[in-house]
Each structure stands twice: as C-alpha cells, then as structure tokens.
C-alpha cells in the first residue's frame, strides 16, 4: 500500500514534506518579465515566473521541466531528489546548478486564477518555452545549459527547446512524451477535460465566482482515463468496493484542488505542439525515455522509433514495466533513467 500512496502523491501533486538530508535546501524565487508578448498577439505588462533551484549558481546549469498541472517543486519528491542531487549522484548539487521553473499557468507563476480569469491570454507551449528561456538567459545570466530534462508536458517542452534554441544546450532528455502533435486517444481525452469545463453553464466564459463543480468533476474523468495505468489501478483496487472508493477519492481530490480556468488553459496549451516537421533542427545529444506501461503514449504506435531515426545524435530507450514504473507518471522516478543522465552529461 505504501507504493500506491506514493503514486497518489505524484498523481495529484499533493504536498510532500521531505527534508533535504543529502543535498542543499532548495531555494525559491520569482522574476517578472515586463511586457510579455504572447503568440496570440496579446501582451501582459507583467508575467511572473516562479522557480526553485538546488545548488550554487556557479555550478554547471541544468534545467528540469514539470508536467501538466504540476510545478517545478514536484521534483523534490524523494524518488527524484534523493536519487539525483546528493554527493556523487548524477546531478550532485556541489557541481550542478539545478533550475526548476513553474511554467506559465502553473504553480506560483502567472496564471488565470491570479485575477484575470478568462481574460488571461490563451498561452501556448511556445509561450511557455520562451518564458523559460528568458528566465535562464536574461534573469539568471546563463548562456548555455549542460542538460535539459523534462517529463510529460515538460518533456514536450524539451523537444521544443532543442528546436527553438539548438545551440543553447549540450544534452536533452525528454521523458514520457512523443515528438509529434497530440492526437488519437490522447487528444480525445484532453477534449474531455476541455469540453467538460467549457460546457458547464456555471463556467460563464471563465468569469465565475464559484468553481463550476460539475465541469471540474467531469474533467477529472478524462484525466484519470488519460494518465492512470490500468494494471496499477487494479492492483490498488482489486474489488468493486475498493475501486468505487478509490474512484470517489481521486475525483473528489482532483476537483477540489483545481481552478477551472487554470485547468482549461493548461490542457488547451498543447494545441500548437508538433516538433516533428522541423525535428532535424535539434543538434544536441538527445536520449528520449518512455516506459512500456505509459497508456498516454503507447509504445505500440512506433512513433518514437520513426522520429528518433531522424536525429544523428538521438537515442530512444524504452524502459520495461517493472515494480518501479508507474505508467505515465514514471518520470519523477529517477532510478529508472539516471544512468542515461550520466551518459548525457559525459558529452560536451
């Protein structure tokens, strides 16, 4: 049961109290981008980017990017931080400066629920990556990154970083994602999330005073279907009564912890994502990691094998299902792929 408790923590991004026993305490900060131009043509006078760092700014810089609805601090869970940031570990904080930003629309960065609600610009993945780049290059004064790691949405951002700023990094590691437009069941279930909110009369085009509860609950159905691994779900709830109780808990927790506009924007932001047409722009060494039990990106599609063949410095690793994998949510489990982080860091 302890393993499934950890899965729930990762799945719902619940607070994790974790003392940094083997690495320096993380630091949090904010930076404000003035007059940020969105791809829609809209401009906000101020866009706040929140970020968490581990290590000293004098270390080799590494950027780590989070998944949809999460924040940079999600990587402070023991399954990632205790495997990566300690002395002698792949991202030893005495040698590396790890930067974990909250993307536009997530965590403590600017988002619709800050006050603009439905008037917040409808940002895209391109906007999110440009803001990350400006944080790193303008605010932190970094001209080159040793490595960029990202999972799920963050992994999709990694592919975009490689194309948009091809000379800015030595290595790229996208996790639990594909370098093609979001389509098939992945896109359909995202539509469940989006349409559930938009069709709730209480949403009121984003100008609600009370959360549109029915829409948020229905949206959680789509999120559960998109990201949950059926095998793990069955092991955690092998009877009808247990399945009903787990379902009720998941849906209630997910809906209660979510703002409707924030969730809607987060899922709509993937609409412009499609690295495939220009994937050859990527020059950095790249190792893409997926797990065989990722129902959101089924390996049976053969997409990654096709796309990775277009990169002279690209490699694809499919991690088999094991007691350590947790489906699509495997990307904060660093023991699955930290050997490949070491491999990428060996390249210059």
260-294: per-residue pLDDT in tens? 999 999 999 999 999 999 999 999 999 999 999 99
Angle at the Cα of 38 from the Cα atoms of 272 and 11, rounded to 5 degrees: 55
Domain that holds residue 215: 185-267
Nearest to 214 by CA among 158, 270, 255, 269: 255
Same domain, 135 and 62: yes
Q: CB burial class (10 A; 0-12, 13-18, 19+) of residue 309?
A: exposed
Same domain, 134 and 99: yes
What b/e readout covers 196-207, taking b as 16+ CB neighbours within 10 angstroms? bbbebeebeebe
Same domain, 85 and 21: yes
Same domain, 337 and 192: no
List, for residues 56-90, the tens digit of each pLDDT value: 999 999 999 999 999 999 999 999 999 999 999 99
Last residue in a domain, options 267, 296, 326: 267
- What's the total number of domains in the chain? 2
Binned at pLDDT 50, 70 and 90, residue 15 comes out as very low
Whether the per-residue pLDDT at 53 is higher than 60: the answer is yes
Whether the per-residue pLDDT at 8 is higher than 60: the answer is no
pTM of the model: 0.95
3-state secondary structure of 178: coil
Q: Which residue has the tokens 């005073």?
A: 209
Mean pLDDT of 324-333: 96
**Residue 339 confidence (pLDDT):** 97
d(CA 221, CA 238): 19
């Amino acid at each position: 049961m302890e393993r499934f408790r950890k899965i729930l923590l990762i799945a719902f991004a619940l607070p994790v109290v974790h003392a940094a026993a083997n690495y320096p305490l993380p630091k949090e900060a904010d930076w404000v981008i003035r007059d940020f131009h969105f791809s829609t043509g809209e401009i906000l006078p101020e866009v706040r980017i929140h970020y968490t760092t581990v290590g000293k700014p004098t270390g080799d810089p590494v950027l780590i990017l989070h998944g949809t609805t999460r924040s940079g601090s999600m990587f402070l869970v023991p399954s990632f931080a205790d495997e990566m940031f300690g002395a002698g570990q792949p991202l030893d904080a005495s040698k590396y400066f790890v930067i974990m930003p909250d993307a536009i629309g997530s965590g403590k960065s600017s988002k619709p629920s800050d006050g603009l609600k439905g008037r917040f610009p409808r940002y895209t993945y391109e906007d999110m990556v440009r803001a990350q780049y400006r944080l790193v290059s303008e605010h932190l004064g970094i001209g080159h990154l040793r490595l960029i790691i990202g999972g799920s949405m963050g992994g999709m951002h990694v592919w975009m970083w490689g194309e948009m700023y091809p000379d800015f990094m030595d290595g790229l590691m996208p996790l639990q994602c594909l370098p093609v437009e979001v389509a098939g069941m992945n896109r359909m279930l995202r539509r469940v999330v989006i349409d559930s909110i938009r069709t709730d009369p209480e949403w009121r085009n984003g100008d609600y005073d009370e959360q549109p509860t029915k829409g948020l609950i229905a949206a959680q159905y789509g999120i559960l279907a998109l990201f949950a691994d059926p095998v793990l779900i069955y092991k955690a709830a092998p009877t009808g009564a247990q399945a009903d109780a787990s379902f009720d808990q998941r849906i209630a927790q997910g809906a209660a912890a979510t703002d409707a506009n924030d969730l809607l924007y987060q899922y709509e932001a993937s609409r412009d994502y499609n690295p495939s047409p220009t994937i050859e722009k990527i020059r950095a060494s790249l190792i893409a990691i997926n797990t065989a039990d990722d129902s959101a990106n089924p390996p049976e599609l053969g997409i990654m094998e096709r796309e990775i063949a277009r990169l002279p410095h690209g490699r694809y690793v499919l991690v088999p299902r094991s007691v350590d994998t947790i489906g699509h949510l495997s990307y904060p489990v660093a023991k699955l792929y930290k050997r490949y982080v070491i491999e990428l860091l060996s390249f210059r």
